[in-house]
Amino acid sequence: MTDLIPPQPGDRAPAASALDARGEPVALETFWRDGPAVLVFLRHWG
């Protein structure tokens, strides 16, 4: 275990990016720019 601390309600969403369908990095904030978004982190593709 590590001491990572997830953001809590009221906190600003951390800046981060992930790879899109073309393998290009996309900023996650892109997804809530026009409205709220649900961001789901999955462990793996199993």
Residues interacting with another protein, by CB under 8 A?
1-2, 4-23, 26, 28-29, 31-46
CA 34 to the chain's CA centroid: 16
Nearest approach, Cβ of residue 32 and another protein (Å): 5
**CB–CB of 10/21 below 8 Å?**
no
Nearest approach, Cβ of residue 9 and another protein (Å): 5
**CB–CB of 39/31 below 8 Å?**
yes
